[in-house]
Amino acid sequence: MVTTTAPVRLRRHHELSPVAAALLTIGGNILILAIIGLAVAGVGVAAVAVFGAELLGSL
């Protein structure tokens, strides 16, 4: 058996608290909803930019 004297420090594994995990989950879901909202708004703006005259004429 070989032993070493190298000063290697092992890091302890830190776990998230349940509250932190819940906050990260909620924050992630809000971020996803914001991205989806921006995508829908972008598609709407693009549709108005491309088909603006036809859309206003059909109303």
Q: Which of 15, 36, 13, 12 is nearest to 24 (CA)?
A: 15
Residue 54 lies in a domain: yes
Query: Is 36 within a domain?
Result: yes
Domain that holds residue 25: 19-58
Output the pLDDT for position 1.
Answer: 56
Task: State the pLDDT at residue 31.
Answer: 97
* Rounded-to-integer distance, Cα 34 and Cα 42, Å: 12
Q: pLDDT of 13-42, one tens digit each?
A: 778 899 999 999 999 999 999 999 999 999
Q: Whole-model pTM? A: 0.61
Name the domain count of the chain. Answer: 1
- Residue 4 pLDDT: 63
Would 4 be classed as within a structural domain? Answer: no
In a domain, 6, yes or no: no
- Who has greater pLDDT, 50 or 56? 50
**1 located within any domain:** no
CA atoms within 13 A on the CB side of 48: 7
In a domain, 43, yes or no: yes
Residue 10 located in a structural domain: no
Q: Which residues contact 48 (CB under 8 A, 6 or more apart)?
A: 55
Q: What is the DSSP letter of 40?
A: H
pLDDT of res. 36 = 98
pLDDT band at 56 (very low <50, low <70, confident <90, very high): low
